[in-house]
Chain A
Amino acid sequence: MSLDEHRASTRDKIIRMANQIATFFHSKPREEGIAGTAEHINKFWEPRMRRHLFEIIDAGGDGLDELVLAASSTIRRPADAAA
């Protein structure tokens, strides 16, 4: 797999994983769902993964579940030099 292909597949994976989380939290009341999504990502995602997520969000969030976007302001942005 070339690096470009890999980037594309990483992007797809991040989107899929974030959306899977959002899907679960959709069954909760709205506010709880937003908080739950953000908390889950903060708790379990390593900075590199969150950085990828923010790259997608910052580029418009194409493909992301709207609940992820709604939660994005409470998802911790990784410090730049963390990796």
Chain B
Amino acid sequence: MGLVHEIDYGTPASKAEKQVTLTVDGFSVTVPEGTSIMRASMEAGIQVPKLCATDMVDAFGSCRLCLVEIEGRAGTPASCTTPVAPGMVVHTQTSRLKDIRKGVMELYISDHPLDCLTCAANGDCELQDMAGAVGLRDVRYGYEGDNHVRAKNDGVQNFNWMPKDESNPYFTYDPSKCIVCSRCVRACEEVQGTFALTIEGRGFDSRVSPGAHELFLDSECVSCGACVQACPTATLTEKSVIQIGQPEHSVVTTCAYCGVGCSFKAEMRGEELVRMVPWKDGKANRGHSCVKGRFAYGYATHKERILNPMIREKITDPWREVSWEEALTHTANEFRRIQYQYGRAAIGGITSSRCTNEETFLVQKLIRQGFGNNNVDTCARVCHSPTGYGLGQTYGTSAGTQDFDSVEYTDVALIIGANPASAHPVFASRLKKRLRAGAKLIVIDPRRTEMVKSAHIEAAHHLALKPGTNVAVVTSLAHVIVTEGLFNEAFIRERCDWAEFQDYAEFVSDPRHSPEEVEKLSGVPAETIRGAARLYATGGNGAIYYGLGVTEHSQGSTTVIAIANLAMLTGNIGRRGVGVNPLRGQNNVQGACDMGSFPHELPGYRHISGDAVRDIYDSLWGVKLDNEPGLRIPNMLDAAVEGTFKGIYIQGEDILQSDPDTKHVSAGLAAMECVVVQDLFLNETANYAHVFLPGSTFLEKDGTFTNAERRINRVRKVMSPKNGYADWEVTQKLAQAMGLNWNYQHPSEIMDEVAKTTPSFANVSYEFLEKMGSVQWPCNEKAPEGTPIMHIDGFVRGKGKFIRTEYVATDEKTGPRFPLLLTTGRILSQYNVGAQTRRTDNVMWHDEDRLEIHPHDAENRGLRDGDWVRLQSRAGETTLRALVTDRVSPGVVYTTFHHPDTQANVITTDFSDWATNCPEYKVTAVQVAPSNGPSEWQKEYNEQAHQSRRIAGRLEAAE
């Protein structure tokens, strides 16, 4: 197997079209104009010695090791900073160059510890490599003089020496090994965009410093790891490498956290994971990562992970560990009993947007084929179902239109209800890079997010709207574009239905949609709305990126439609740099939706009532599928309380924590007779379960995830499942126990079945993915290599459809009892309900959920920063600590929902999107008051949770 080696070309690729031919050491090589000599040489297979250059960042030219000679030019220019020219003749190895390089290396080594044998980077150190490459044999200068290496010189304190900084939980900084090449500083600036590092001091005194001489953990650093990767020495090193040693083989796989879908090399020693390193060929991340994917995988081996199946008769009983066979037979018998007793439709299941496509496909297949109904839903319901509806109606396909690379061609980015810096960090880094290169930014968000203003980034317009007024504001943007004649008539005439456009134009032109009117209800100044509309319509390539702040509203679907209208109006669709891009929450939200997780549609978004579609499955699966839509999650819970729904199979989701109105969810679960939870940990939902089936992590299985750009990425098994089976095997065993004749030997066979039955996946196979790396659906005879950008020559549905978007105020209104609006979100280091990230050192950045409140509202209530507060809505109440900040506007409070203790969803109501029942997380009327500590509900809940997590025969209940 071995390590997957990646070539370091030394400097980034040039995007120029014009080609230049030159000669390097006698070889002719042709490269794009603007390429460095160093990169051109590497293209020709010749590696010029280098230390300060690496192809993730721009060249800096400081180490003087990469010098070359060019015929007809005097001196020895640095190959990393010198661009190629036509006909250039370059020599990379001459006696003059050899002497200079040896001298340079001698100086470096004379101020570097010689403990190579015990150094963590031994075998993976570029300084070591270069010493070898230039033939350094002896070092004339010792450490007698000034050095950074030793704590004491002859018993006297050495002020040039600095101790290690081990504050970051995942990597160390050992200044004694630093060669001040500034690769880390440039990586933090150019790749990550955080600007946490600087070189302080000059000459011999210069040092890498996080912030103003801070520890890494106390600085701005977000622990993305870009600097660690860029560092050529052991100065910045993963703690796991220090503990375990260098990896011996690596496997390319996909991050299981967010919808960016970063590709990683899982670097292994046997079955032990040494580190995760972002893969440069990963088309979503291009070699970058965030703290979650790069470092937060410790949950896979966390002691609280449940590895044995368990059952119990009542949820008040302790768990009893049983064999797989007993657990599965018991489940199958219970499900059949319930169906016999209460009817075929009395059971259902939930697929997971954390599991693979193949696993999701199997769960919905089990339900449709084995349960004989369509009661399947997914937690994607609670985040992006309005995207499916809105884009489906207007464009004809339920997915984003672009690939992530597209952002490199964007001139105006419009971000609505999303905070990519927290939720989609690698995409945020790519966007920030583009913004630093001059693109403009508009942010529509109630909160002043990090995107609005941060290091070297400032939004041209921030529309800090009142939560719940998205439709009004986006429609008002369209009003400005139409009434000021900024729409793209040629595009609309060619691509859209002209009559529908005219109807829409008449609708939006009405004065009630004017910025002046909308200002009154949204709180956004009319001039800001006008400015934003003009910029988006006329600023060049305009791209819209939106998130849960759009979808999780009672008018979520309407907002998605309004966004789609906006892009059509301005012709911002169907080419690079533009488009409408939903930022998906969990890693496989897109895939879960694609694979038929919704109760009304089969894989590939085909409605269950279509006879032709059902026929495909009827004949393949040998059953008659039900032609009626099934129950959605909230409807399942309603039906449970009512007594017509009694059993559920939940794979890899925690609906008790992730779904709104916790009390309603727990009442529904408590009313069921057989709740089966398949997960890594005893999650909150498992408190109400009768059967627990241990799940497996993404490291323990083969499969695919589909990211927010419709990209199907391979997930590869790097270790055996600690629980015994991959999740798809567990589902298969359950199906077999229920009498289904399934016999998949490998997930690739499941994908083959998907491809065979789903037109948009027709060409997808593991073999093809192996060859291509990844592909974006649709991938079929019309698009044999996949579809990076959709709707290029026309919309999938034919003509683009303009639809009126009337603003309707949500029923969730503030009043004297609940005068504030609560909106929810997430932060960088934690992921969704936090079940994984809470079980890693990421808690060092976020150990509790806090309530952000404006100083004005805090003062009115006599609250100070850090005080415990009671947060109350008509649905329930909880307590947490306040964070007083003007990031939120007066009248608005904000919190995250990563910790179960907070129970933020006790507060959220059962209001939901009109079209899809996506819950309205983003607007809840609340009151905030001082408090002494946890609410009664929190105490009761904790007691219940504690009781229900007991495992017979174990002293201490595992969490």
Q: Chain A residues in contact with chain B, CB under 8 A?
A: 1, 3, 6-7, 10, 13, 16-17, 20-21, 23-24, 26-28, 40, 42-49, 78, 82-83
A1-B806 contact, Cβ under 8 Å, with A46-B629, A46-B635: no
Whether the Cβ atoms of B628 and A6 lie closer than 8 Å is: no
Selected from B345, B635, B667, the residue in CB contact (under 8 A) with A83 is B345
| Closest CB in chain A relative to B809 CB, distance in Å | 11
Contacts A44-B916, A48-B639, A83-B644 known; list 7 others, CB within 8 Å.
A23-B914, A24-B806, A24-B914, A43-B609, A46-B374, A47-B345, A78-B628
What chain A residues lie within 8 Å of B639 (beta carbons)? Answer: 48
- For B609, the chain A residues whose CB sits under 8 A away are 42-43
Which residues of A have CB within 8 Å of B607?
43
Question: How far apart are the CA atoms of A33 and B917 in the complex, in Å?
Answer: 20
Contacts of A42 in B (CB 8 A): 609
Whole-angstrom distance between the Cβ of A2 and the nearest chain B Cβ: 10
Interface string of B649-675 (1 = CB under 8 A from A): 000000000000000000100000000
- Tell me the residues in window 549-569 of chain B with beta carbons closer than 8 Å to chain A beta carbons: 554, 557-558
Instruction: Pick the residue among B374, B507, B629, B912 that contacts A45 (CB under 8 A).
Output: B629
Contact B631 A24 (CB under 8 A): no
Contact indicator B915/A21 (Cβ below 8 Å):
yes
* Contact partner, B628, options A16, A17, A28, A46, Cβ 8 Å: A46
A-B contact pairs, 10 of them (CB 8 A): A16-B811, A21-B914, A23-B808, A44-B632, A44-B915, A45-B629, A46-B629, A47-B628, A82-B628, A83-B343
B contact residues around A17 at 8 Å (CB): 912, 914, 917
User: Chain A's nearest CB lies how many Å from the CB of B733?
Assistant: 28
Inter-chain contact A27/B915, CB cutoff 8 Å = no
Check if B638 is an interface residue, CB within 8 A of chain A: yes
> In whole angstroms, what is the CA distance A61 to B917 when docked?
22
The tally of residues in B whose CB lies under 8 Å from a CB in A reads: 36
Cβ contact within 8 Å between B638 and A27: no
Closest residue to B911 on the A side, CB-wise? A16
A49 CB contact (under 8 Å) in B343, B635, B804, B811 = B635
Asked whether B806 lies within 8 Å of A40 as measured between CB atoms, the reply is no
Q: Decide: A20 near B599, CB < 8 A? Known: A13-B910, A48-B631.
A: no
Query: Which residues of chain A are near B914, meaning CB under 8 Å?
Result: 17, 20-21, 23-24
Tell me if B473 counts as interface (CB < 8 A to partner A).
no
Question: Once bound together, how far apart are the Cα atoms of A46 and B554, in whole Å?
Answer: 20
Q: Which one of B507, B630, B912, B916 contacts A27 once the chains associate, using CB atoms below 8 Å?
A: B507
Cβ of B642 < 8 Å from any Cβ of A? yes
Q: Bound state CA distance, A7 and B644, in angstroms? A: 13
Does the CB pair A46–B630 fall under 8 Å?
yes
**How many Å from the CB of B797 to the closest CB on chain A?**
16
Contacts of B643 on A, CB cut-off 8 Å?
A: 3
Q: How far is the CA of A3 from the CA of B671 in the complex (A)?
A: 11
Interface: B710 (CB within 8 A): no
Pairs A-B, 5 closest by C-beta atoms: A20-B914, A27-B804, A27-B806, A46-B631, A6-B641
Q: What 1/0 flags go to B612-638 for Cβ under 8 Å of A?
A: 000000000000000011111001001
Complex Cα distance A28/B504, Å? 10
Contact B629 A43 (CB under 8 A): yes
CB closest residue in chain B, given A19? B914
Using Cβ atoms and an 8 Å threshold, which residues of chain B touch A28?
Answer: 804
Chain B nearest CB: distance from A38 CB in Å? 13
Assess A24 versus B917: contact at CB under 8 Å? Given A6-B641, A46-B629: no
B530 on interface, CB distance cutoff 8 Å: no
- Bound together, the chains give a CA A30 to CA B269 distance in angstroms of 67
What chain B residues lie within 8 Å of A43 (beta carbons)? 600, 607, 609, 629
Q: Which of A17, A20, A23, A78 has the most CB of B within 10 A?
A: A20
Query: Which residues of chain A are near B345, meaning CB under 8 Å?
Result: 46-48, 82-83
The interface residues of chain B lying within 8 Å CB-to-CB of A13 are: 638, 910
| Binary per-residue interface labels of chain B (800-840) against chain A in the complex, 1 for a CB within 8 Å, 0 otherwise | 00001110100100000000000000000000000000000
